[in-house]
């Protein structure tokens, strides 16, 4: 009884997930998520909003709606495996506004959502990956119950840089070079010597024809990683292009 979940509402469900041979691979007595955030497999994203509180449903999910073609190590799901989910909708409530969290809880939530983004990225769902990375940043930047200690603040900075680099990678896969460049620059504002962000920013600047800026960024990246073949190749390509332009 009661209304079905609306967009943005948070749900609590009891979930059992089994393979075709009956092997149980998922058991969660109270899984909490907001449909649409990308924190669970698509079978639950799509199926739970059709349910009413107290209802028990069975969803037979083909592999694209479960763990995809690669499967998963944790839980142990083989490639191309369909799953049968038994789902009980326990509760529906309004989606939570960002609530002050202890520093450790913010870090844990941010890490979970970044890892979920990596899950989507590995399966080629770059829009879902980007959504999870943004939710991770939102968790990391949310209000805290108390000022973080030095170690917690350092870990938060490191997680934000990882997330922004991942956002840049997802934006590139979606063909959005300007957004990818903005994500790189945001990462470098936090960590000016982050090699991954420097390299990608240099590559993006070069693609835009901003060769002088690209060369400066790539030389800085090379100072940090002198053995990088990728950076040497990018600088050689820039030098060759500038030589060709000067000869025309």
Neighbours of 1 (CB within 10 A): 6
In this structure, of 90-99, 103-112, 118-127, 200-209, the range with the lowest mean pLDDT score is 90-99
Enter the tokens of residue 77.
């799901």
| pLDDT exceeds 70 at position 24 | yes
| pLDDT exceeds 70 at position 174 | yes
- Model confidence pLDDT, tens digit, residues 71-99: 887 788 999 999 999 999 999 988 665 67
Yes or no: say if 48 and 5 are a contact pair by the CB < 8 Å rule: yes
Q: Which residues pair with 13 in a beta bridge?
A: 31, 89
pLDDT at 96: 62
> Is domain 103-222 given the CATH code 3.30.1180.20 in the classification?
no
Q: List the chain domain ranges.
A: 10-93, 103-222
The Cα angle at residue 90 between residues 86 and 94, in degrees rounded to 5:
125
pLDDT at 193: 95
Stated length of the chain: 248
Q: Which CATH number fits domain 10-93: 3.40.50.300, 1.10.287.3510, 2.20.25.240, 3.10.50.40?
A: 3.10.50.40
Q: What is the mean pLDDT of residues 51-61?
A: 96
Distance between CA atoms of residues 91 and 69, nearest Å: 32
Taken in order 132, 138, 140, 144, the sign of the CA dihedral is negative
CA distances from 225 to 88, 231, 239 (A): 52, 8, 19
Quick one: pLDDT band at residue 199, thresholds 50, 70, 90?
A: very high
| pLDDT exceeds 90 at position 148 | no
Q: Which of 33-37, 71-75, 207-211, 242-246 has the highest mean pLDDT?
A: 207-211
Q: Strands of 24-33's sheet, edge to edge?
A: 24-33, 10-18, 83-93, 56-61
Q: Find the helix or strand (DSSP H, E) in which 87 lies.
A: strand 83-93
Quick one: pLDDT band at residue 112, thresholds 50, 70, 90?
A: confident
Distance between CA atoms of residues 53 and 42, nearest Å: 20
β-strand 24-33 against 10-18: which pairing, if any? Answer: antiparallel
Yes or no: say if 94 and 29 are a contact pair by the CB < 8 Å rule: no
Enter the tokens of residue 44.
């639950």
Distance between CA atoms of residues 191 and 239, nearest Å: 27
pLDDT at 95: 67
Yes or no: say if 157 and 191 are a contact pair by the CB < 8 Å rule: yes
pLDDT at 138: 87
Instruction: Quote the DSSP letter at residue 89.
Output: E
């Amino acid at each position: 009884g009661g209304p079905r979940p609306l967009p943005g509402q948070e749900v609590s469900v009891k979930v059992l997930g089994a393979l075709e041979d009956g092997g149980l691979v998922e058991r969660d007595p109270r899984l909490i998520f907001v449909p649409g955030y990308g924190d669970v497999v698509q079978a639950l994203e799509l199926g739970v909003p059709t349910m009413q509180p107290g209802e028990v449903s069975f969803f037979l999910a083909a592999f694209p709606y479960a763990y995809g073609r690669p499967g998963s190590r944790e839980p142990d799901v083989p490639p191309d495996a369909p799953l049968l989910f038994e789902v009980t909708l326990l509760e529906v409530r309004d989606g939570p506004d960002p609530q002050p969290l202890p520093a450790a809880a913010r870090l844990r939530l941010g890490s979970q959502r970044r890892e979920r983004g990596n899950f989507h990225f590995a399966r080629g769902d770059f829009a879902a990956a980007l959504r999870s990375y943004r939710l991770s940043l939102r968790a990391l930047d949310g209000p805290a119950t108390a000022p973080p200690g030095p170690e917690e603040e350092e870990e938060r900075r490191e997680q934000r840089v990882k997330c922004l680099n991942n956002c840049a990678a997802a934006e590139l896969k979606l063909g959005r070079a300007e957004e990818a460049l903005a994500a790189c620059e945001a990462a470098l504002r936090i960590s000016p010597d982050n090699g991954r962000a420097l390299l990608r920013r240099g590559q993006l600047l070069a693609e835009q024809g901003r060769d002088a800026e690209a060369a400066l960024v790539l030389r800085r990246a090379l100072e940090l990683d002198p053995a990088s073949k990728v950076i040497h190749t990018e600088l050689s390509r820039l030098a060759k292009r500038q030589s060709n332009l000067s000869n025309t």
